[in-house]
Structure 1
Amino acid sequence: MAPQIKEASGEKPAYAELNNLISEKLGGRILFATDDWFTVAENLLKGEFTEFGKWMDGWETRRKRKPGHDWCIIKLGVAGVVEGVDVDTCHFTGNYVPRVSIQAAVLTPEEEKVIPERKSEMGTEASDQQLKEVEALNSQEWTTIIPRSQAGPGYPSTRHTYLPSESNGRYTHLRLNIYPDGGIARLRVFGYAVPDWSLVSPTQMLDLASVESGGVCLEYSDAHYGHPRNLIGPGRGVNMGDGWETARRLDRPPILVADGKGVLEVSGYEWTVLRLGHHGNILKVEVDTHHFKGNYPDSCRIDGCLLKQGQHPTNFGNDDSLWLTILSPQKMRAHDHHFFEAELEKVGPVSHVRVVIAPDGGISRVRIYGNITPTES
């Protein structure tokens, strides 16, 4: 019996604000693909579209003339929970994949070794021997998290096919199936990391907000030039687009005045809420304005609150009654690292932080270092 075809959503869902678990910068990798004839599967994981543009910026297989369908195996950059995906067929209009599905599994390093060495090269396809070797994974029997679903052509109004996951399990690898062949520009797998917290000592200090720790961006006031989820990405930002940048606030005063500490006195500000990967006590904060020279914020403040699991109040980021100040407003500098430790207030364990910048501008990364504490149920 053929699987039921699932209708996709063209509306951008809430899970599309989460981290892309297969992005190249996070460590996502293509381990195997049945066909790389027109373009290689690695293009699925890239960020922005390249100069190659319409005709070769994605994964496109040959027109299949034998039984079966094309598929590839993807290793997540971090093991975690998949909330949903975006199958983006941008530029693929007469050659897009009409249907897709996704399966998932947890593989050990030893199990991963059975996958034949990847040769990422246009004009190639997997040999019979390579297909036989990868059969040892029995990947066609992995858990189906996205059932067979229709995808849209790569026109601006139909290129994004949003599909929610039907599993809340933790996975390390995905199998993307395309039926039977064609092209996809990008695959984005939205979710959050799930570390093994039993391996972390309560005395160990780590960045509780990072993608690797399971941190996610939940809400924000403005993301005109760059999404605030970039704040918790790995490494330092590669450019301004790899950070959080807001539009200029229209309510900023016509003539700016500073207080005794040099911080501008403005009523307006922008904010983003980050859910930590684990509850913890905040011991150190890092704010990096790397690349932001004429557009860095004047000041930055960090607030925190402790919520029970599953608790998510309405109007979360705007509700000042929920938040305690961890770091009072601190003057920022252009294109520089800022570290704060002695300046932090001891507010006890927190599960979420609110990053507040005034009046507007951009920052590259925020690190929230602390020790884990027992999770409130």
Structure 2
Amino acid sequence: MTDTQKPAAFTELVNLAARSLGAGVIAANDELFAEKENLLVAKPAEFRPHTFGHKGQIMDGWETRRRRGAGAEEPHPTDDDHDWAVVRLGVPGVIRGVIVDTAHFTGNYPETGSVEAASVPGNPSPEEVEAAEWTELVPRTALKGDTAHEFAVDVEQRFTHVRLNIWPDGGVARLRVHGEVVADPRDLDGLTFDLAAQEFGGVATGASDRYFSSPHNLNSLGRAAVMGEGWETRRRRNKDNDWVELDLVGEGEVLAVEIDTTHFVANCPGWASVSGRSAATGEWIELLPRTRLQPDTRHRYRVTPSEPVTAARLDVYPDGGIARLRLTGRLTEAGRAAHALRWLNLVPTVEAEQALTEAGLTVGEARTLAGARPLADAPAVRAAEAALQPADTPDGAETSRRRAAIWRLLGV
């Protein structure tokens, strides 16, 4: 893959289980040798031989004790005996692939493993998550030692938690869960927010160069702690410039731009500009003209929205590093509707029905509309609405109520 191609592999998608996005390991049945929290550490696993603690060699991963059978006559564990760890994703989304990495586990890696996922909205307890309905993403599969196992996933549903199962015991260094963020539209409704934010679904789709660090860092949560947490290109030796393109959360109006060069001192770009892709024409329109940048500085600019945009492009001249790019704005009605409809199509049936009843539909109406998913667009929603019972009253009150409820949730 060249630097200018858009990444296609699921490993180029957002790691939904990143600690920087708020992910956490909420439960594990055992972690005697090495703590479950190591599964989500951002940096690759390390191994330092002959570093022993009170429980043996210190391992940079999650490692359980050796399983034993029921007694002297049956010293071995059964085929069903296994260990598990449950991870709350930092942001809910559609999972496109997972990586189960057994780096540095050679004589103590699991024989097989599997991955499941569940959707449990809100802030559930570990017990509530355990009682949820789980969907198999990766079936029980043979594992190797000291290997990063990549498993593509093809399940069109939004999930909030994953569970890693290992048979019968052993150690896993890291777990990565890559996919597409699907934020709850009700959390964003009526707000101005960062339209490019990774936590809401913004994603870098292409870059001219990613030699020193990833363009996915540009829209990460929080401020960069070090230079390596931004996006930095190699030194350019021709007269071109470097750039990154990002898909926004949805169609929206950009009201302000922040270009943060924190930690980039001798390698800060000289200038930068920001463009947006017109929702109407698909052409790039100027949001921020080419503007002088200062090293190690947060630059903030108010912009006047000319028309709605669906994507953004940051151009830096001629090269260098940017810590963060923020595009504060608001979704248009069309952007909100498209975002909400995608979310409704991807949540489990019980969540869709609950959301529709909370918006104002009856239980029966919510069940019927949820059963009509996937709903491709506003006309499809209207067609499904027309099929709802009971029939309308002479004054049209039932139609008005149903349409108000659907508008409240979906904006269509």
- Is 1:169 the equivalent of 2:167? no
Q: 1 or 2 for the larger relative contact order (CA 8 Å, sep ≥6)?
A: 1
Structure 2: which amino acid aligns with 1:69? H
Give the match's secondary structure for 1:36. coil
Letter in 1 for 2:99: D
Q: Which residue identity does 2:102 align to in structure 1? A: T
- Corresponding position of 2:288: 327
- The aligned amino acid for 1:351 is T
Aligned partner of 2:120 in structure 1 is: 107
Q: Is 1:369 aligned to 2:341, yes or no? A: no
Question: Which residue matches 2:180?
Answer: 192
SS in 2 for 1:278: strand
What CA deviation, in whole Å up to 9, does each residue of 1:40-80 have, x standing for no partner? 11001111146664651111222222341111111111122
Aligned match of 2:212: 225
Per the TM alignment, residue 195 of structure 1 is displaced from its structure 2 partner at its CA by 1.6
Q: Percent identity?
A: 40
- Aligned-pair CA distance for 1:180: 2.1
Q: Secondary structure at the match of 2:199?
A: coil
Q: Deviations over 1:197-237 (max 9, x none)?
A: 244344x2110111121111112121111111111111100
CA distance in 2, matches of 1:249, 1:153: 40
The alpha-carbon distance between structure 1 residues 108 and 335, as it changes in their structure 2 partners (threshold 3 A), is: same
Instruction: Report if aligned partners of 2:82, 2:167 keep a CA contact under 8 Å in 1.
Output: yes
Aligned ranges 1:127-166 → 2 under 5 Å: 134=127, 137-138=130-131, 142-154=134-146, 159-166=147-154
Once residues 356 and 296 of structure 1 are traced to their aligned partners in structure 2, the CA distance between those partners, rounded to angstroms, is 13
State the match for 2:168 in structure 1. Answer: 180
> Secondary structure at 1:249's aligned position in 2?
coil
Answering whether residue 260 of structure 2 is matched by residue 288 of structure 1, we say yes
The alignment yields a C-alpha RMSD, in angstroms, of: 2.3
User: Would you say how many aligned residue pairs link Structure 1 and Structure 2?
Assistant: 311
52-61 or 280-289, which moves further after superposition?
52-61
2:221 to 213, 224, 234: 234
Amino acid at match of 1:215: G
Shift of 1:89: 2.0
Cα pair distance change 1:164/1:198, threshold 3 Å? same
- Looking at structure 2, the residues matched to 109 and 324 of structure 1 have their Cα atoms a distance apart, in angstroms, of 39
Specify every segment of 5 or more residues in structure 1 that has no aligned partner in the other structure, as ranges. 1-11, 116-133, 252-266, 309-320
Q: Distance in 1 between matches of 2:272 and 2:8?
A: 29
Matches within 5 A, 1:1-377: 14-49=9-44, 53=48, 56-65=59-68, 66-67=77-78, 68-109=81-122, 112-113=124-125, 115=126, 134=127, 137-138=130-131, 142-154=134-146, 159-202=147-190, 204-251=191-238, 267-306=239-278, 322-341=283-302, 344=303, 346-373=305-332, 374-375=334-335
Quick check: which one's helix share is greater? Answer: 2
Shift of 1:13: 5.8
Q: CA deviation at 1:93?
A: 2.6
C-alpha distance in 2, partners of 1:273/1:97?
A: 40
Q: How far apart in 2 are the matches of 1:71 and 1:239?
A: 34
Report the CA distance between 1:307 and its aligned residue.
6.0
Q: Is the 8 A contact 1:13 1:162 kept in 2?
A: no
Name the amino acid aligned to 1:36: E
Residue matched to 1:9:
none
TM-score by length of 2: 0.70
Greater Rg over alpha carbons, structure: 2
2-structure distance, mates of 1:48, 1:95: 21
What is the SS of the residue equivalent to 2:198?
coil
C-alpha spacing 1:166/1:149, structure 2 compared with 1 (3 Å): farther
Q: Is the 8 A contact 1:213 1:278 kept in 2?
A: no
SS in 2 for 1:212: helix
